[in-house]
Structure 1
Amino acid sequence: MWSPCTACSTNIPFFERGLVVVNDTFHPYESLDELSAHLSTVEEDVYCVDQVTKRQTAIISASNLLEQIANRDTIELIQHGEFESHLQPIVHLDTGERFGYEALLRSRNNVSPGELFRAANRFGLHSKLDQRARAEAIKATYHAVAPHEKTFINFLPSTIYNPDYCLQHTFEIIDQYGLSPDRFIFEVVETEKVQDVAHLQHVFSTYKKRGMKVALDDVGAGFSTLDMLKRLEPDYVKIDRSYISFCDQDAEKRTFLKNVRQLTKSMDITILAEGIERAEEVDVCRELGFDLAQGYYFGKPSPYSL
């Protein structure tokens, strides 16, 4: 049975009233506004105590606690708020039939994904948010994706400290819903700057051992080298949208797309063009022999119905 690691179980509590401890001295406060006013005059490390439950916060600098309080709505959303996955269609370029979807995390109160992940990274909650995103994507697959279709699920390698341990939560949710592992393609998101290739190899290997496929996003930018593709051996690659946009009007882009198509074909890698918004871009990618496509031309991310 899976149990959460420290990163996944990180919790930032907010006590509306209690005691703030500075240099072993206890100072009572009756509201977070009162606590903030007091912290603004403090330079030392502090922690808070709930007098009823005797729970304590972590020991941090007064300035960091002030920042947490200022961002408490976003922090509480990440920890306890309601999320859902929006699904964006992915199609076969040769037939136009739907291949599957990419699952994209959205909050019920419309806080942008960028803001959520920036806050999660700032306050040490990125593992928790990434885990919640994977769980919502699996739930969406169960409720809204046909058994013969696939779901791309984003993940951040930096949130998976020990793949053999950290990913068990994801695998258990898939098992709980009774879903076949081969319905999922786990994708390194474009915002992630991979520094430790060996670690990403381990993550990919862990997914593959459980019967899932893996994908690289951002090919042409972050993952452009032949060496990277050989080392990671992805099942799918997504071509950076900057190379797709108006490729019909740019000979250099078309040359790049042709070369990467030849490379991926020689390595038996399925290639996907993302960010397609125009029929002319569809035509170029189809003529070059791309396998799959995604973008507003085929459909925007949208919520699913139960």
Structure 2
Amino acid sequence: MAESCIECRIPVRFYEPGRLFISNEENWSFFDFQTIKEAEEKLELMQAKGLMGGIGRPEDQAPVRTAPLRDVVEWFSHQEVIRVIEKGQFVSFLQPIVETASGSVYGYESLLRTNEEAAIPPGRLFDTAQKLGMHSYLDKQARESAIVARKEHIQDGQKSFINFLPSTIYNPEFCLRHTFNIIEKYNVNPDDLVFEVVETEKIEDVDHLKKVLNVYKREGIKVALDDVGAGFSTIEMLEQLKPDYIKIDRSYVSYCDQDEEKQAFINRALHTASNLGIKTLAEGIERKEEYDYCREAGIPLAQGYFFGKPSAKPAAAIQVI
């Protein structure tokens, strides 16, 4: 079987010099170009309705991938991001997660960033990948980057929280094979890994998500539900999904020491999670008062700028006053 499905590959590649293919649904014609700018100028002149297009090398007789010409124009407009994703020009930054009772480091969340050479904001990177159908490939690369960063910078026994988009995992048995191979390659203990569901849109197929989480669990990996209280991540979902961890959304943590409604939600989430054997983490803590409230409420784990911002290497020590 092939190593990766089409969704997890780079769907668009730019060649310079290259060949621009145009089709009227009957015949292909092509135009050779020396520079990307030259190709863009040709596209501007040919944006006729109904035409198809594609990109290839100068020696190619047909494009590897075709799309409506308007989509090919879109590819060119985002070529900078496409090249960054293709070359893997990103690293994982690490943000500390602490135990509230002791203030000691429990683990780190890995957050994808482009390297200094690329310097593209993460929001733009993921939004463009989603728009161009490259989000599965980017998500896979992000998981690998996080595992590599863990091997280089994080002690055995400390947890690595690694984000993943469940919508990019079409067949968990197949799509996660690459991730499990990377874990084995770098000799990382699966028990030190926590894969964290992040999804801004409502997930309609809860059964599919449960299958994804169960495949992770089968490999000895823990799973977490992010942003509980926001979007689809409701308290009611906990019993269905049975994650090992939940993260209370920062909107409920911000100034929770002064807001009784937020306190009521936090207490309800903590009570439900505790009854299900789930560990609770408060994210987005920026003030000592928030930290104090969460600790006294019984939340065992916390994360936020109060403890440290994401960085390429973990801080030598974390001071919790």
Report the TM-score, using the length of structure 1 for normalisation. 0.94
- Give a deviation string over 1:229-267, Cα, whole Å, max 9, x none: 111001000000000001111111111111111111111
- Give a deviation string over 1:164-193, Cα, whole Å, max 9, x none: 010010001000111110000000115353
- Give a deviation string over 1:4-63, Cα, whole Å, max 9, x none: 111112331223333433332333444332322222233211234423355624121111
| Contact 1:11 1:79 (8 Å CA) reproduced | no
Greater displacement, 226-235 / 210-219: 226-235
Pairing 1:103-182 to 2, within 5 Å after superposition: 103-108=110-115, 109-182=118-191
Letter of the structure 1 residue corresponding to residue 103 of structure 2: G
Letter of the structure 1 residue corresponding to residue 147 of structure 2: I
The reply on whether 1:285 has 2:294 as its aligned counterpart is yes
Partner of 2:242: 233
Pairing partner for 1:253 from 256, 262, 280: 262
Q: Cα 1:162–1:96, aligned 2, differ >3 Å: closer, same or farther?
A: same
Pairing partner for 2:43 from 39, 42, 45: 39
Partner of 1:20: 21
Partner of 2:317: none
| Contact 1:216 1:236 (8 Å CA) reproduced | yes
| Contact 1:79 1:128 (8 Å CA) reproduced | no
Letter of the structure 1 residue corresponding to residue 311 of structure 2: S
- Give a deviation string over 1:263-282, Cα, whole Å, max 9, x none: 11111110000000000001
Q: CA RMSD in A?
A: 1.7
Letter of the structure 2 residue corresponding to residue 37 of structure 1: E
Greater displacement, 185-194 / 109-118: 185-194
Partner of 1:94: 101
Q: Cα 1:102–1:264, aligned 2, differ >3 Å: closer, same or farther?
A: same
Greater displacement, 244-253 / 217-226: 217-226
Partner of 1:6: 6
| Contact 1:216 1:223 (8 Å CA) reproduced | no
2:188 is paired with a residue of what secondary structure? coil
Letter of the structure 2 residue corresponding to residue 171 of structure 1: F
Letter of the structure 1 residue corresponding to residue 21 of structure 2: V
The reply on whether 1:66 has 2:73 as its aligned counterpart is yes
Q: Cα 1:146–1:67, aligned 2, differ >3 Å: closer, same or farther?
A: same
Letter of the structure 2 residue corresponding to residue 170 of structure 1: T
Q: Distance in 2 between matches of 1:225 and 1:28?
A: 53
Q: Cα 1:63–1:175, aligned 2, differ >3 Å: closer, same or farther?
A: same
The reply on whether 1:244 has 2:253 as its aligned counterpart is yes
| Contact 1:238 1:274 (8 Å CA) reproduced | yes
Letter of the structure 2 residue corresponding to residue 58 of structure 1: R
What is the number of equivalent residue pairs in this alignment?
305
> Gaps spanning 5+ residues in structure 1: where?
none
2:8 is paired with a residue of what secondary structure? coil
Q: Distance in 1 between matches of 2:136 and 2:99?
A: 33
Pairing partner for 1:51 from 37, 47, 58: 58
Report the TM-score, using the length of structure 2 for normalisation. 0.90
Greater displacement, 248-257 / 150-159: 248-257
The percentage of counterpart residues that share the same residue type is 46
Letter of the structure 2 residue corresponding to residue 167 of structure 1: L
Q: Distance in 2 between matches of 1:99 and 1:2?
A: 38
2:59 is paired with a residue of what secondary structure? coil
Partner of 1:76: 83
